[in-house]
Amino acid sequence: MDKIALITGATSGIGKATALKLAKTGYQIIITGRRNDKLQALKLELEESNTKVLALSFDIRDHEATKSAIEQIPNDWQTIDVLVNNAGLAAGADPIYDGLWSDWEQMIDTNIKGLLYLSKLIIPGMMERKSGHIINVSSIAGKETYANGNVYCASKHAVEAITKGMRIDLLPFNIKVSSVSPGMVETEFSVVRFHGDQEKADNVYKGLTPLYADDIADAIEFMVTRPAHVNINDMLIMPTAQATAVYNHREE
Ligand code: NDP
Ligand code: 8X3
Residues 22-76: tens digit of each pLDDT: 999 999 999 999 999 999 999 999 999 999 999 999 999 999 999 999 999 999 9
Residue 117 CB partners (closer than 8 Å, separation 6+): 60, 63, 66, 67
Residue 215: predicted pLDDT: 99
Q: Which of 111, 136, 152 to mutate to test the pocket of ligand 2 (most atoms within 8 A of CB)?
A: 152
H-run or E-run covering 239: none
Domains of the chain are: 4-237 (3.40.50.720)
Q: How many residues does the chain have?
A: 252
| Ligand 1 geometric centre to CA of 229 (Å) | 30
ipTM of the complex: 0.99
Residue 91: predicted pLDDT: 98
Residue 228 CB partners (closer than 8 Å, separation 6+): none
The residues facing 5 across adjacent strands are: 29, 82
Ligand 2 neighbourhood includes 42 CB (under 6 angstroms): no
Q: How far is CA 121 from CA 66, 76, 125, 236, in A?
A: 9, 17, 8, 27
Q: How far apart are CA 38 and CA 89, in angstroms?
A: 17
pLDDT at 1 over 80: no
CA-closest residue to ligand 1 atom 39: 185
Report the pLDDT averaged over residues 180-198.
98
Residue environment code for 206-215, b if the CB has 16+ CB neighbours within 10 A, otherwise e: eeeebbbbbe
Ligand 2 neighbourhood includes 139 CB (under 6 angstroms): yes
The upper half-sphere exposure of residue 43, i.e. CA atoms within 13 Å in the direction of its Cβ, equals 15
Q: What is the 3-state secondary structure (H, E, C) of 162-209?
A: HHHHHHHHCHHHCEEEEEEEECCEECCHHHHHCCCCHHHHHHHCCCCC
Residue 22: predicted pLDDT: 98
The residues facing 84 across adjacent strands are: 7, 135
Nearest 10 degrees: CA dihedral of 222, 206, 33, 93? 110
pLDDT at 92 over 90: yes
| Ligand 2 geometric centre to CA of 79 (Å) | 33
152 is catalytic: yes
Active-site hit among 152, 205, 212, 247: 152
CA-closest residue to ligand 2 atom 5: 139
Of the candidates 107, 102, 97, which has an alpha carbon nearest to the alpha carbon of residue 141?
A: 107
- Please tell me whether the overall predicted TM-score, pTM, comes out greater than 0.80 for this model: yes
Of the candidates 161, 21, 39, which has an alpha carbon nearest to the alpha carbon of residue 84?
A: 21
Query: pLDDT band for position 252 (50/70/90)?
Result: confident
